[in-house]
């Protein structure tokens, strides 16, 4: 099960993590109270843990034995024997998944620590070598014809359990290369894309952003500087924006090189695999058709005027500005004190909202707080933004946040906790089938946000405060839907243009500015220095074409939540938990059918977007 990439640091707002006493593990102090830090010992005690070394050695022996026993022989196996092979393959893969989860989380906790970087790279290299002995298995399975597999599954109930995984594996059958080519790509990953990803992460972690405020100059981390773009003081926002532009502008040649190299790398691999366009491989991995993604993108772009353009015109008026600058986009609204919310209060707000919907969901979520499974503390070197890492079914997920105590941070907590409980519910499907396509991975997270928002809104009796809360929710939804589709369009244009030759940093800025003007509308007057802001988005580097999944998930949840509110689906909570438990065993058509929803129908996306438009309608009525 792959990790959930970090959220965008601009849209969500070096200590040894092992050798701490119990009191220290409770976290660091801040204005939001004592913040938790995770304890990774449920995976391994440290990089030198003898158990880690033993696991790697045992996994390598098992992988070599597996290769010797099965390579070239799958067509001769009975259904039950294929089941046994799959179970052994899953067991070894889960050991490797545990090792890499530990290395990734350690690195995310402090990328400034050179030892963490070396350990992460060493583990990638070691796991890649071990994995090369397993690579034949999926390739050989895909060379078996459909009739053979169907016959084996018909004769073996044990093998039939793997039908969803085999179905998804065979989606990539037309794009599979020779065994030698696949092995070469597999082994070169550590000196290819993975190496460029590490360079990006370490560069961001070591960067310091110069911010001039209150007559003094500060050197802030990227996360801290981006957080200031939500400061109530416009001069602070402007200073932070100038600092971010200066810091990333000073590194723009490096970020442009990383982007061009990875885009060309993708073009080469896509060409060999005969993918028709840059986003197709991602859509295949998400188990969603290109046409469904096209329909989503077209629906959102068509709705830019009635969503973002309309809302930001109101916001400019509220801020007393004829036109806003880019550093005003996340500005708090007049009268919004956005009091600091202690971590303890955030916990109760989120768990209370979950419990009102489903006590079972809340109980699963409570474990994350009662046990050291969350890292919310603020510290240098820590990954920006937020994510939920599922690790492996034999362990449990971990959540990373950077908690500043704002309302948006509470929503981020609700979001990541949704991922966490989803991953726990799906874990019973096992390592190979618990992973959820990215388009569906956002379902529980966005639903958790909606539950928390509705609970907080219903509890608020002050009309002015309710208006501010509604406006804040609209901004979050615009960030999730409009902004991510704009990011998707940026990626598409960049990858298309890269096929004609290297794209200059100046041209990257032009493309970025064009999609920002298109998506955010005439309420903004963009300054040229905003042209470098594409360079801090980690998804472009780590997971190309991931970003539309946020919009997919938000629109899906809007439609799903509408069904819940209408009360037209009996036993909704049970069906919803069953959806989460399914993990990767069902496609989106099957998962949505019990709720009477179909993502292949254009009206589905309009229904989701109408929820956002309705919130803006309500704001306009209150404004009038």
* 307, 482 Cβ separation under 8 angstroms: yes
Specify the 3-state DSSP secondary structure of 211: strand
The verdict on residue 62 lying in a domain is yes
Q: Determine phi and psi for 20, rounding to 5 degrees.
A: -125, 150
CA–CA distance, 435 with 20 (Å, rounded to integer): 32
Q: Are residues 177 and 217 in the same domain?
A: no
10 pLDDT higher than 50:
no
Q: Are residues 76 and 187 in the same domain?
A: yes
54 pLDDT higher than 90:
yes
**CATH classification of the domain holding 123:** 1.20.140.70
Q: Which pTM was predicted?
A: 0.80
pLDDT of residue 498: 97
Q: Of 225, 244, 201, which Cα lies nearest the Cα of 530?
A: 244
Q: At what angle do helices 114-132 and 50-70 cross, to 10 degrees?
A: 20
Q: Are residues 186 and 226 in the same domain?
A: no
Residue count (the chain): 624
**CATH classification of the domain holding 235:** 1.10.287
Q: Are residues 78 and 187 in the same domain?
A: yes
Q: Residue 147 to residues 85, 150, 157: CA-CA distances in angstroms?
A: 19, 5, 16
Q: Are residues 103 and 214 in the same domain?
A: no
Stretch 541-545: mean pLDDT? 93
Q: What's the structural domain count of the chain?
A: 2
The verdict on residue 485 lying in a domain is no
User: Mind listing the pLDDT tens digit for each residue in 354-410?
Assistant: 999 999 999 999 999 999 999 999 998 898 889 999 999 999 999 999 999 988 899
What lies within 8 Å, CB to CB, of 415 at 6+ separation is 7, 386, 445, 446, 448, 449
User: Mind listing the pLDDT tens digit for each residue in 145-157?
Assistant: 999 999 999 999 9
Determine the structural domain holding residue 74 and report its residue range.
33-191
- Segments of 221-272 assigned E as strands: none
pLDDT band at 338 (very low <50, low <70, confident <90, very high): low
Task: Report the chain's mean pLDDT, rounded to a whole number.
Answer: 91
Q: Would you give the DSSP letter of residue 524? A: B
- CA 583 centroid distance within chain: 16
The verdict on residue 122 lying in a domain is yes
The verdict on residue 42 lying in a domain is yes
User: Mind listing the pLDDT tens digit for each residue in 522-531?
Assistant: 999 999 999 9
Domain end call among 217, 247, 277 = 247
User: Mind listing the pLDDT tens digit for each residue in 608-620?
Assistant: 999 999 999 999 9
* 378, 402 Cβ separation under 8 angstroms: yes
Q: Are residues 39 and 181 in the same domain?
A: yes
487 pLDDT higher than 70:
yes
* 29, 79 Cβ separation under 8 angstroms: no
pLDDT of residue 14: 27
CA–CA distance, 422 with 368 (Å, rounded to integer): 13
* 300, 482 Cβ separation under 8 angstroms: yes
The verdict on residue 150 lying in a domain is yes
The verdict on residue 284 lying in a domain is no
Q: Which of 466-470, 496-500, 523-527 comes out lowest in average pLDDT?
A: 466-470
Q: Are residues 157 and 227 in the same domain?
A: no
The verdict on residue 59 lying in a domain is yes
Q: Are residues 48 and 175 in the same domain?
A: yes
The verdict on residue 361 lying in a domain is no
Q: Are residues 112 and 214 in the same domain?
A: no
pLDDT band at 31 (very low <50, low <70, confident <90, very high): low
Q: Are residues 58 and 125 in the same domain?
A: yes
Structure tokens given for 279: 């986003």
User: Mind listing the pLDDT tens digit for each residue in 190-236?
Assistant: 899 999 999 999 999 999 999 998 788 999 999 899 989 999 999 99
Q: Are residues 230 and 111 in the same domain?
A: no
Q: Are residues 187 and 220 in the same domain?
A: no
Within 232-289, where are the H helices?
A: 234-250, 252-273, 280-285
Q: Of 613, 490, 615, which Cα lies nearest the Cα of 545?
A: 490
């Amino acid at each position: 099960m792959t990790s959930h990439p970090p959220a965008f640091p601009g849209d969500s707002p070096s200590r040894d993590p092992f050798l701490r006493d119990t009191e220290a593990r409770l976290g660091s102090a801040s204005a939001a109270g004592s913040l938790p830090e995770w304890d990774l010992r449920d995976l391994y005690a440290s990089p030198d843990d003898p158990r880690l070394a033993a696991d790697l050695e045992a996994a390598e022996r098992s992988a070599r034995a597996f290769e010797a026993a099965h390579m070239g022989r799958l067509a001769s196996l009975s259904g039950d024997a294929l089941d046994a092979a799959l179970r052994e393959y899953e067991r070894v893969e889960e050991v490797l998944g545990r090792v890499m989860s530990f290395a990734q989380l350690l690195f995310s906790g402090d990328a400034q620590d050179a030892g963490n970087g070396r350990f992460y790279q060493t583990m990638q290299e070691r796991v890649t070598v071990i994995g090369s002995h397993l690579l034949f298995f999926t390739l050989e399975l895909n060379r078996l014809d459909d009739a053979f597999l169907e016959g084996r599954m018909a004769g073996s109930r044990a093998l039939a359990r793997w039908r969803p995984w085999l179905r998804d594996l065979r989606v990539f059958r037309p794009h599979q290369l020779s065994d030698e080519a696949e092995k070469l790509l597999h082994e070169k990953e550590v000196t290819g894309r993975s190496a460029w990803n590490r360079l990006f992460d370490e560069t961001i972690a070591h960067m310091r952003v110069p911010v001039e405020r209150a007559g003094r100059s500060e050197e802030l981390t990227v996360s801290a500087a981006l957080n200031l773009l939500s400061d109530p003081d416009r001069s602070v926002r402007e200073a932070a924006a100038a600092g971010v532009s200066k810091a990333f502008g000073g590194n723009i040649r490096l970020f442009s090189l990383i982007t061009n190299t990875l885009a060309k790398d993708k073009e080469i691999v896509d060409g060999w695999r005969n993918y028709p366009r840059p986003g197709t491989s991602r859509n295949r991995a998400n188990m969603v058709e290109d046409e469904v993604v096209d329909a989503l993108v077209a629906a959102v772009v068509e709705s830019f005027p009635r969503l973002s353009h309309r809302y930001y015109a109101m916001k400019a008026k509220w801020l007393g500005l004829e036109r806003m600058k880019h550093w005003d986009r996340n500005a708090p609204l007049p009268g919004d004190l956005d009091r600091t919310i202690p971590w303890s209060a955030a916990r109760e707000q989120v768990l209370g909202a979950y419990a009102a919907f489903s006590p079972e969901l809340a109980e699963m979520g409570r474990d994350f707080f009662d046990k050291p499974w969350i890292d919310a503390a603020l510290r240098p070197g820590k990954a920006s933004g937020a994510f939920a890492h599922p690790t492996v079914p034999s362990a449990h997920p971990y959540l990373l946040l950077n908690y500043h105590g704002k309302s948006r941070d509470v929503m981020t907590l609700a979001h990541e906790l949704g991922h966490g409980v989803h991953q726990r519910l799906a874990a019973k499907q096992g390592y190979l089938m618990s992973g959820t396509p990215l388009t569906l991975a956002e379902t529980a997270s966005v639903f958790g946000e909606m539950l928390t928002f509705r609970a907080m809104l219903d509890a608020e009796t002050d009309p002015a405060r309710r208006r501010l809360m509604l406006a804040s929710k609209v901004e979050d939804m615009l960030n999730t839907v409009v902004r991510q589709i704009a990011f998707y369009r940026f990626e598409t244009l960049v990858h298309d243009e890269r096929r004609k030759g290297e794209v200059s940093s100046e041209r990257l800025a032009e493309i970025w500015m064009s999609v920002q003007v298109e998506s955010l509308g005439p309420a903004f007057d963009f300054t040229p220095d905003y042209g470098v802001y594409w360079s801090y988005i980690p998804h472009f580097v780590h997971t190309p074409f991931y970003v539309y999944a946020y919009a997919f998930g938000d629109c899906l949840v809007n439609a799903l939540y509408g069904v819940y509110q209408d009360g037209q689906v009996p036993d909704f909570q049970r069906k919803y938990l069953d959806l989460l438990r399914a993990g990767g065993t069902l496609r989106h058509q099957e998962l949505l059918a019990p709720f009477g929803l179909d993502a292949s129908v254009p009206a589905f996306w309009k229904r989701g977007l109408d929820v956002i438009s309705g919130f803006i309608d309500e704001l306009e009525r209150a404004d009038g």
